[in-house]
C-alpha cells in the first residue's frame, strides 16, 4: 500500500485544483480510470464524472479550500482520512471523513461521510 498520508495529500490537491486541465492530470495520477466517489450528496464514476463533481463544488463554494484534519491512516489497500472545508484563511464550516480503497497506489473508490455541515450549506 502507498503511504496513507501521501494518498490523502494527493486527494486533497485534486479537490483544491481550480484549473481543470491541471485537475484532470492530478485525477489521472491519483484515481484509477474506473474510480468512484460517493457521499450523501453526490456520486461519480470515472474521471469525467469525478472532475464534474469537483468543479460543481468549487463553483458552489468559491474561495473555499480543503485541508487535512489530523493524520491519515490505513491498512492493506484501505485508507482513512478526515478533512475540513471552508473559506481560505477562516474557520472551516464543513468537516468530513473519507474511506478509500486503493489499487496500485491509486484511489479505486472513496466513500465520504459528512461530519459537520451547517444548515445553510
13-24 pLDDT, tens digit per residue, is: 999 999 999 999
Query: Which residues lie closer than 8 Å to 73 by C-beta, 6 or more apart?
Result: 4, 79, 80, 81
Strand residues in 39-77 grouped as ranges (E): 43-45, 64-75
Count: domains in the chain: 1
Over the stretch 32-71, which tens digit does the pLDDT of each residue have? 999 999 999 999 999 999 999 999 999 999 999 999 999 9
Whether 107 maps to a domain, the answer reads yes
For residue 2, what pLDDT band results from cuts at 50, 70 and 90?
A: confident
Judge whether 120 and 61 are in contact, CB under 8 Å: no
For residue 121, what pLDDT band results from cuts at 50, 70 and 90?
A: low
Query: Which residues lie closer than 8 Å to 101 by C-beta, 6 or more apart?
Result: 77, 78, 107, 108, 109, 110
Domain that holds residue 82: 4-116
1 pLDDT above the threshold of 70: no
For residue 89, what pLDDT band results from cuts at 50, 70 and 90?
A: confident
Beta bridge partners of 46: none
C-alpha cell at 109: 473508490
Whether 75 maps to a domain, the answer reads yes
Whether 106 maps to a domain, the answer reads yes
Whether 121 maps to a domain, the answer reads no
CATH number at residue 60: 3.10.450.50
Beta bridge partners of 73: 80
Whether 9 maps to a domain, the answer reads yes
For the residues of 26-39, what is the DSSP string, one character each?
HHHHHEEEEEEEE-
Amino acid at each position: 500500500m502507498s503511504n496513507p498520508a501521501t494518498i490523502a495529500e494527493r486527494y486533497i490537491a485534486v479537490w483544491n485544483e481550480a484549473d481543470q486541465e491541471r485537475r484532470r492530470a492530478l485525477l489521472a495520477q491519483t484515481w484509477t480510470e474506473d474510480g468512484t466517489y460517493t457521499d450523501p450528496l453526490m456520486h461519480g464514476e470515472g474521471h469525467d464524472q469525478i472532475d464534474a463533481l469537483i468543479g460543481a463544488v468549487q463553483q458552489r463554494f468559491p474561495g473555499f479550500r480543503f485541508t487535512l484534519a489530523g493524520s491519515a491512516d490505513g491498512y492493506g489497500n484501505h485508507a482513512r482520512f478526515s478533512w475540513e472545508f471552508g473559506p481560505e484563511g477562516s474557520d472551516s464550516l464543513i468537516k468530513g471523513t473519507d474511506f478509500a480503497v486503493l489499487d496500485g497506489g491509486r484511489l479505486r473508490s472513496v466513500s465520504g461521510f459528512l461530519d459537520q455541515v451547517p444548515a445553510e450549506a
